[in-house]
Every structure is written in C-alpha cells, then in structure tokens.
Homo-oligomer: A and B are copies of this chain.
Amino acid sequence: MVAIKDMLQEGAVLRPDGRAADELRPVVITRHWTEAPEGSVLIECGKTRVMCTASFTPTLPRWRKDSGLGWVTAEYAMLPRATSDRTARESVRGKVGGRTQEISRLIGRCLRGVVDMKALGENQIQLDCDVLQADGGTRTASVTGAYVAMVDALRWAQDHHHIRSADKVTKDCVSAVSVGIIDGKPMLDLPYLEDSRAMTDMNVSMTGSGDFIEIQGTAEHRPFNRQELGILLDLATKGNKELQAAQRKALASD
C-alpha cells in the first residue's frame, strides 16, 4: 500500500469534496425500502442514489427449464432527471441504449458470479437497479446494492420454502467500486465531476474473499501501464473491503 500513499501524497491531492484519494464516499444502505419486492434496497454512495429490488419467482426463462439450475438476471435504468440535464426515456425512444444494456449485463454477471445455481434450484431472481440520482459510480453502486437485495429475496424464499437455505445459494458476497486516474493521480470512487475528467476509468467487482469477478478498465483518453494498473487494483481492493463491511452491517441489522 506504500506505493499508493506515495503517489497520492506527492502533490497533496485536493479532491473537490475534500476526500483523500483512497477514501470512499459515505455509503448508506437501507433495506426494506419499499414493501412489494422480495428484496428492496436503497443504496446511497455520496449523492448517487440507486433503488435496487430483487424479485424472486419460482419459474425460469424457457431456455433454462429442466436444467435443475436457477438463473439470475439484472436490468439497470436511469430516471429522466437522475442527471443534471433531462435524459429522454428509453421506453419513449422505443429502444434500450447500448450503455444501459452494457451495464445491465455487467450487473447480472457480477451477481451470478457468487450464486450457486444448483442451490438456487429452478428459481429466478430478477434484479432491478433504478438510478434516482446519478453522481458517478451508478453501476458499481448497483452491484453493491443488488447483492443486499438479493440476499433479502433469498431469505424471503427460504421463509416461504422455495429454497432450503439462503446461505447456501450465495457462495460469497460481491461488491463493486470505481477507480480512475485523474491528472495522473489514481483515485478511489469517482463522482461525476472526476469521472468525466478521468484519463483511465476502471470498475472492479470483487468477492468477500478478495478475488475478482469483473474488471473493466478503459483508457479512451490515455493508455495506462502495468504499474498504474497495480495501484488502481489496490485502491479497488480497499474500497470493496469497506463496501462489503457496509453490506454485512446492513444485513446483520433486522
């Protein structure tokens, strides 16, 4: 961790919100936020606010039937005024945009990465992540919040005898966080202002045991080297550990 510290303190980095380079924004996870879904979570990471619901259904999509295995899928969307300018609704435009589909698929893969499909049995969990307010990191907040909503839905399913044990379905927990390089400095958990200025931008999804489920790094503005990658992954590891602590705390209180 020395390397990060060094790099970050060199220029006495001042982030717009006063955070240290390796500091997360405040995280608040509210369970049972609405009543209808089997799992319903509001996750707030700084000003980013995402409503994550988990719908448990004892049926499967056709292609998965009679496999003895379950399925987990996810859909992500933004409300029109989650952003500072109004974004036209995808329903009105008549199609789901590329960014939305890319993120929906990412969330689905991350959650499936920690689910034992055999233990889930022939049941489906549909995760819906709707961004109420967007200030950067909406996809990573979605992964982190969706995990908590999924656990709640699994507990509900256990209580209603759809599955034997919620604990056995989740092989591990999963969270995600963004990291990036801004003006040459690696940073953890970028708000919109930083994200739009990042040379390199990376979303890292990790399990509780510290392994990677998904790494997506992109450098449209300036390529990054192996050393920078190392520092970014260190930052992401630190951030994900803290997010997983917040998940555990939220799931303990009931």
Contacts and interface: CB of A to CB of B under 8 A. Distances in A.
A162 interface: no
Interface in A168-196: 172
A216 interface: yes
A37 B93 CA distance: 21
Contacts of A102: 98, 101-102, 105
Interface in A74-128: 75, 77, 79-84, 86, 89-102, 104-105, 109, 112-113, 126, 128
B233 A212 contact: no
Contacts of A96: 91-92, 95, 98
A40 B81 CA distance: 9
Contacts of A202: 215
Interface string A209-237: 11111111111110111100100010000
Interface string A2-42: 00000000000000000000000000000000111100100
B217 A34 contact: no
B37 A81 contact: yes
A53 interface: yes
Centre residue among A40, A101, A113, A172 by max chain B CB count within 10 A:
A101
A51 interface: yes
A49 interface: yes
A240 interface: no
**Is the interface on chain A under 10, 10 to 19, 20 to 34, or 35 or more residues?**
35 or more
A86 to B, nearest CB: 4
B101 A98 contact: yes
A207 interface: yes
Contact of A215 (B101, B104, B113, B216): B216
A109 B57 CA distance: 32
A209 B89 CA distance: 35
Nearest to A91: B90
B211 A225 contact: yes
A51 to B, nearest CB: 7
A133 interface: yes
Contacts of A57: 86
A55 interface: yes
Given A34-B133, A126-B86, A79 B98 contact: no
7 closest A-B pairs (Cβ-Cβ)? Answer: A211-B223, A98-B101, A90-B91, A53-B81, A37-B81, A91-B91, A215-B217
